[in-house]
Copies of this chain bind each other. A is one copy, B any other.
Amino acid sequence: MIQKVAASEIHQICAAALLRAGAPESHARLQVDLLLEAELRGRASHGLLRLPRIVARIRNGVADPRASGRHDWQGDGLLQVDGECGLGPVVACAALDALMERAATTGVALAAIANNNHIGMLAFYAERVATRGAMLIALSTSEALVHAWGGTKAMLGTNPIAIGVPAAPLPFVFDMATSVVSMGQIHDHALRGAPIPLGWALDASGRPTTDAKAARGGAIAPFGEAKGYALGLAFEVLVAGLTGAALGRAVRGTLDATEICNKGDVFIVIRAAQMEAMAASIALYLDEIRDDAPAEGFRRVAIPGDRANAVRAERLRDGVPVAGNVWDDIVALARA
């Protein structure tokens, strides 16, 4: 059921599918860069399985593969972006490029992006910015999938955060959802008929469940109990306050193929003079943490990104494992 496909082949076939759907070549390539990078980092939930939905959204007129977003500088450092229903990473990277240029003189620049499609794995953007010598704080919202701490209904998005910080030789790249797991992991357990641990999710009536199928219609728990809930909620209101995005249960278009996407994305790019001098100290500090004696049950102490970098190296060498049905669907789209 799982086959290994070379990264270069994945790139070519996926890009062909998007070209057929009407995307200009540079936009198709950027969208595929993002999906492939998720696969290379071992994050299949943000990888190839998203492509057929992106194509369907283009066909249904809720994604415009030619748009890259309209830019309106509301202040010297504050960019309002109307995503014009463009492809998520196309609109996001156009905004990032503008922020990188502006932050060279302002030191800090922020983009508040509305009306954009799903921007996928945020680590992609954090790495892009940090390897170019700047810092990034990225926030995004999504459809309500997560319950409040002490609540019973899905009221918050999985609201991820990513932070990229230059370090030598590799940047520090951190990316996480504020849910305890992704809805992708719940679906994966449901497909395999496997139970989920208690504490991951509630069923549709708001009761804790170990039944992955029941969890699909319920709500995922926030990570870190009350604190993680509060953090995800803070991101939800901050992003909506800056972008005018919908809130909570009113958010649409990150999981379906038919509705205009009304969530928001916020990027903050920072360029400070001393960052370059600090890159070496930060790398030393990260190594000091890696060298800490591991606790019982752990083989080593990891830094965010360590596992992703190892998996990427392996998959670039040996190919990317892709579920057969996912790959067949994409090949069909490329040849349709």
Contacts and interface: CB of A to CB of B under 8 A. Distances in A.
Interface string A140-175: 000000011111110100000101011100001010
A172 B237 contact: yes
A247 B167 CA distance: 14
Contacts of A223: 224-225, 227-228
Q: How many copies does the complex hold?
A: 2
A274 B244 contact: yes
Contacts of A275: 241-242
Interface in A283-336: 285-286, 288-289, 292-296, 298, 300-304
Nearest to A298: B150
Contact of A240 (B75, B80, B281, B293): B281
A219 to B, nearest CB: 10
A149 B174 CA distance: 14
Contacts of A147: 292, 295
A49 B243 CA distance: 41
B304 A230 contact: yes
Contacts of A105: 75-76
B150 A301 contact: yes
A22 interface: no
Contact of A272 (B78, B207, B225): B78
5 contacts: A75-B271, A78-B106, A150-B294, A165-B238, A247-B285
